[in-house]
Amino acid sequence: MRAPGTDRGRLLLVLVLAAAVTVFTATVPLLRDWFDLRVYHGTVHSWVHDGGRIYDYRVPGTTYGFTYPPFAAVVMLPMALVGVHIAVAVALLLNLVATAVSLRVLTGRAWRRHGWYGCALAACALALYEPLRDTFSFGQVNLLLLALVLVDAWLLTTGRERWAGIGIGLAAAVKLTPAVFIALLLLARRGRAAAVATAVAVGATGLAAWVTPEASRFYWTHALWDTTRVGRLEYVSNQSLQGVLARLGVEGKPVWAVVVLLVMGVWAWRARRAVAAGDWYGAFALTGLTSCLVSPITWVHHLVWLLPSFVLLVRAGQQRVAAVLYAVLCTSVVWLWFDDASGVDGFLGGNTYAWITLGLLLWLPVGHPAAERSPFSRSASATAPAPRQAAAAIAAVSGQPGRGPGATGSAAASGTSGPGRALLRRASSEPTGSTRPAAAKPQSSSDRASS
């Protein structure tokens, strides 16, 4: 089947794909009812209007509350001025802007070569990506943090190091996981950027301590160390290394620590080689992968940090590999083992996303020459055939010529078939990763879990 050669045919294809994506997202994964955003909104309203304490708030009818550092609550203070519906609208807009910024940083100006058609196909493919759609549906902050970090990557790539570190520092103050990018700056011997990032993170944390000293004291002395506040480690949505070990019944911290050290060693070796070649995007992609693996809890929606890796796969001419891996991450396949992740099938299938993340850390092509200032090593041809599958759609926005109409691994196709039907019937009271409507109890089943 050939790609349509006329604008009318392209428009028809886009409309068909958009309809298929809409049906899929409305019937298989369903909405998470912006549960995490309601946690943020309720926390801020209770704090400002009712004199409540940040870490005491619980969503009515549940045991779920706020778990981020106090600075995150300070940043969210404007929510106290609006209702939850306006907050949802603003969150959707901010996530759209953050997605656009991230793609703009990763693709440069290459997306313009493919016009509205390539962008429309890429949008359909992105809408199927489970971590992305869950981030939108939960009202999560992942995309905003990704955009902040990638802006720093762009500053380093383009020689504007004077301002580099601000985005990483802010992201680390909102949520601790991005602090691993400060380690990348130190590894790359970018002392000034590392100092800026550290100063911004410490300054933001100090501001929060001044605004709400009691909440800051509680978070840094108690809440930070109480992992039960976040959720069950063995819950299938936790696609970190500790989640894998927990589902195997390995509860000891020493084993997890050894595994983390091994992963950090691989990351340091590969990231240093990428930086030495001037491939900052590659180094940042590897660091995002590592943060997902070593974090005690990495919910499925946290895996938006894998998006730069897919762009780099396309950059390296690995469109088919990118398509297959991307398609798997659109299927919600790990939820087939929601009830029981034991046995060989559970070990392999229930940890699918963790295996993809680990595989990308080990084999992601990085280390392109420093002279290549664009994040893509090849320029796209303005006359290249329009892509019609997921890998080609990603290639369109990334400026890659792709492999033409014959490219394999359509994310759209995989999204509308496969395990989706079975998942539709698997009810869950934990919308952090379930494929069903948000129920009264979200995320994992810990009494003190949160968003």
Comparing CA positions, the residue from 329, 334, 345, 306 lying closest to residue 409 is 329
Judge whether 106 and 314 are in contact, CB under 8 Å: no
Cα 134-138-142 angle, rounded to 5 deg: 70
Instruction: Give the H/E segment covering residue 79.
Output: none
Question: Considering the entire predicted model, what is its pTM?
Answer: 0.80
Q: Report the amino acid identity of residue 402.
A: G
Q: Quick one: pLDDT at residue 77? A: 94
Rounded CA-CA distance 264/6 in Å is: 50
Comparing CA positions, the residue from 220, 210, 247, 217 lying closest to residue 232 is 247
Rounded CA-CA distance 268/188 in Å is: 10
- CB under 8 Å to 122, separation ≥6 — which residues? 103, 111, 393, 394, 396, 397
Query: 3-class SS at 65?
Result: strand
DSSP-assigned states of every residue in 269-324: HHHHHHHHTT-HHHHHHHHHHHHHHHSS---GGGGGGGHHHHHHHHHTT-HHHHHH
Judge whether 361 and 284 are in contact, CB under 8 Å: no
β-bridge mates for residue 450, sequence order: 65
Q: Quick one: pLDDT at residue 303? A: 96
Burial of 261 (0-12, 13-18, 19+ CB in 10 A): exposed
> What are the structural domain ranges in the chain?
234-428
Give the position of tokens 């428009």.
11
Rounded CA-CA distance 44/233 in Å is: 27
Give the position of tokens 């489970």.
130
Rounded CA-CA distance 263/187 in Å is: 15
Phi and psi angles of residue 384, each rounded to the nearest 5 degrees, phi first = -65, 145
Q: Tell me how far apart the terminal alpha carbons of the chain are, to the nearest angstrom.
A: 44
Tokens describing residue 271:
């990231």
Q: Quick one: pLDDT at residue 397? A: 42
Q: What are the mean pLDDT values of the chain's consecutive 10-residue runs (451 residues total)?
A: 74 86 71 85 92 88 86 95 93 94 85 75 88 92 96 92 93 94 95 96 96 93 77 89 93 90 96 93 96 94 96 91 94 90 90 97 80 43 40 44 39 39 38 42 40 51
Give the position of tokens 């990231």.
271
Q: Report the amino acid identity of residue 275.
A: V
